[in-house]
Structure 1
């Protein structure tokens, strides 16, 4: 490996972590890194005072351009859009992506409240610990403008109750209760499972059946999952497993070895406050590799 490639690889985890949090899509983040590498390869690196700053600047600006395009495309997306989780591998193991708690789907979805410019400033300052002056230089704006973007981002996110401290055992236990309730659907059991203001979001992308807008309220969710349990989850051919993705447990449902849904939950105490269900076949196909028995527990 030549020195130029080695230097890029040295910073690759940070660059990927930034691009992924900007875009919520591993494939889009990889595309950004590919473009950044091409620019790096064409650059005379010997004249750079700070190669890392150059790479972070190029990656951030490429991700910003791609996010602006993606936002326009998502205006025509059918139903809610959910970020696509990472499948850990040798190229971007989650443990190297810094501040892993900001990789949760709930946090990535919360970032969708921000404009692309606010998102970039917030991530650089709050997640990757660049000063306002450093972030402003990366974004090519005045320091005061950067500070304002970060402040607006904090204000927009304040009501979203981001959960940075993920209690994995509690989530796993609640997912097990969720499966048990689905297999023997009963309205009273389901009502006791959800918080009063619980919300359900599903991403089918218009390709498969899914609720076309977020549903909120314990009664709506109880009736939704009563229906899903009766028609699908209670079928004997449905296999449930729990995997760890983006630092938190996820419930995977398979039929005949085909992954048909991936569901994350948020909870407070013994109540589920949110369900995020990924049902888009193209997104699930990229998750289907998560079949290693060592990384999941079967639910019977």
Structure 2
């Protein structure tokens, strides 16, 4: 293995994590990292003072360009668009940690609400601790502009991120309670476990049954859940609780593999949001 290859492989997982945070999809992140390798392969590593910063800059710039392209496509996406979940309970803990540890589905969803520049600036600054001049060079902006982008991103994230970080065991217990109530059709228990203003967002991508708009209020969410479970094909799926994006999530498995994934946001012991990914193209990393 050449020095160029060695340097790149040393940072590959980190680069995948950077691209995933900016793009929200593992498959696109891998494509970006491959493009970063092609560009890096033409560079003499001896001429680079900090390979990590150099590679993160290349990857982030490519991811930003890709995100701008994807934003245009997502405007015609069928129904809500949700990020692609990633299994973090793998045989390769280091890879899982670099790719998705501490990148909860809730965080990815909030990141989706930022502009592409805000998202890239935030990831490079707050996740990878790069200095404003370095980020400015990568994004083609002034350091002052980068600081403004990061400030806006932080304020937006603070306003929309769940107030509490729930302990994983407690999070799992709430999921189990919700799952048991849904499968048994226990409306009273569903009312108890769901916040009155709970929101349900489903992403089927036009491939599988999903609501075309977010559903608000526990009454409407319960009606939707029980309606979906009344479908014999859905009712035959086997639900499992797995670790995805560093948190417990419900994975519904059928004869052909994973059918859907459900993430729940828990605050004050009740579920305030349910995000369901059913688009099969987004379930390959589960």
TM-score, normalized by the shorter chain, greater than 0.5: yes
Contact 2:106–2:161 (Cα < 8 Å) also in 1: no
Partner of 1:93: 95
Partner of 1:277: 276
Partner of 1:294: none
CA shift for structure 1 position 191: 1.4
Give, in whole Å, the separation in 2 of the partners of 1:266 and 1:64. 28
- Number of residue equivalences: 284
TM (norm. structure 1) is 0.88
Partner of 2:50: 50
Contact 1:32–1:59 (Cα < 8 Å) also in 2: yes
Partner secondary structure for residue 196 of structure 2: strand
TM (norm. structure 2) is 0.92
CA shift for structure 1 position 34: 0.5
Partner of 1:228: 228
CA shift for structure 1 position 166: 4.6
Structure 1 vs Structure 2 CA RMSD: 2.1
Greater mean deviation of Cα atoms: 219-228 or 195-204: 219-228
Q: Structure 2: which 5+ runs fail to align?
A: none
Q: Structure 1: which 5+ runs fail to align?
A: 291-300
Give, in whole Å, the separation in 2 of the partners of 1:249 and 1:91. 16
The answer to which structure, 1 or 2, has the higher relative contact order (CA under 8 A, 6+ apart) is 2
Moved over 4 A (4+): 88-92
Deviations 1:53-107 (A, max 9, x none): 2211111110010000000000000001111122456597222358x22x11110
For residues 34-45 of structure 1, the aligned pairs below 5 Å read 34-45=34-45
Partner of 2:167: 167
Give, in whole Å, the separation in 1 of the partners of 2:74 and 2:96. 27
Partner of 2:259: 260
Shift in CA distance, 186/120, structure 1 to aligned 2, threshold 3 Å: same
Partner of 2:195: 195
Shift in CA distance, 232/276, structure 1 to aligned 2, threshold 3 Å: farther
CA shift for structure 1 position 222: 1.8
Contact 2:117–2:149 (Cα < 8 Å) also in 1: yes
